[in-house]
């Protein structure tokens, strides 16, 4: 709902004119901040509910950090990202765009088979959208659009895939079994002493 509210309040429906980050500018930028933080918090809360072994937790933490930076540090109005704060914003968005989906994908691999397949399909879609973002960043227009409009389209598409991945993770999390209890390293020593 926040995703739709952003577009309505900004009067700039998907895909936005320049980039999603433009939703964070102006007096309604707080809505952008709220949307990003809520979106990034979901996977961490789900991980807390059903932890999984491996690097998923750390990937999600880095992605969350990148999301908070993106949400709090604003970009430039013209979308050129020449100022220091705009470059910090861009770095945060890259961390969020890379690490959040990877973390969710690694967490969902412990879910039931149908969820893993769907997550794999979304991961392939995210990789394709990410590749198109890189092409747009290099100055190539795609989908019959110029580079700036292409950037906005593919960046927004990647974000939609990430929202779908968060939703999929929320649906799949109940099929992730609990972690086995950790072995108490003191117990074998005590039994050997007795």
CA proximity to 81, closest of 132, 137, 13: 137
Q: Please give the Cα distance from 55 to 106 (Å, whole number).
A: 8
Q: Please give the Cα distance from 42 to 32 (Å, whole number).
A: 16
- Count Cβ atoms below 10 Å from residue 92 Cβ, excluding itself: 22
Domain boundaries, the chain: 2-174
- The reported pLDDT for the residue numbered 145 is 80
- The reported pLDDT for the residue numbered 188 is 53
DSSP string, 114-174: HHHHHHHHHHHHHHHHHHHHHHHHTT---TTS-HHHHHHHHHHHHHHHHHHHHHHHHHHGG
Residue 133 CA, chain-centre distance (Å), reads 15
**pLDDT band, residue 72 (cuts 50/70/90):** very high
State the pTM of this model.
0.84
DSSP string, 61-108: HHHHHHHHHHHHS---TTS---SHHHHHHHHHHHHHHHHHHHHHHHHH
pLDDT(67) > 90: yes
**pLDDT band, residue 65 (cuts 50/70/90):** very high
- The reported pLDDT for the residue numbered 190 is 52
Residues whose CB falls within 8 Å of the CB of residue 14, separated by 6 or more in sequence, listed in order = 7, 156
Residue 145 CA: distances (Å) to CA of 12, 127, 138, 142, 150: 17, 20, 14, 5, 6
């Amino acid at each position: 709902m926040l995703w739709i509210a952003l577009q309505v309040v900004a009067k700039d429906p998907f895909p936005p004119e320049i980039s999603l980050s433009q939703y964070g500018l102006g007096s309604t930028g707080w809505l952008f901040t709220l949307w990003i933080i809520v979106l990034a918090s979901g996977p961490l809360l789900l991980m807390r509910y059903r932890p999984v072994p491996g690097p998923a937790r750390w990937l999600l933490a880095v992605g969350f950090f990148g999301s908070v930076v993106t949400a709090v540090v604003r970009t430039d109005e013209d979308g050129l990202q020449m100022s220091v704060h705009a470059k910090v914003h861009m770095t945060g968005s890259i961390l969020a765009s890379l690490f959040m989906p990877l973390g969710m994908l690694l967490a969902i691999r412990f879910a039931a088979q149908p969820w893993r397949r769907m997550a794999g399909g979304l991961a392939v879609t995210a990789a394709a959208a990410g590749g198109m973002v890189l092409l747009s960043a290099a100055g190539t227009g795609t989908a019959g659009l110029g580079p700036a409009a292409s950037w906005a389209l593919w960046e927004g598409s990647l974000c939609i895939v990430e929202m779908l991945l968060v939703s999929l993770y929320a649906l799949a999390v109940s099929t992730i079994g609990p972690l086995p209890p950790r072995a108490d390293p003191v117990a074998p020593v005590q039994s050997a002493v007795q």
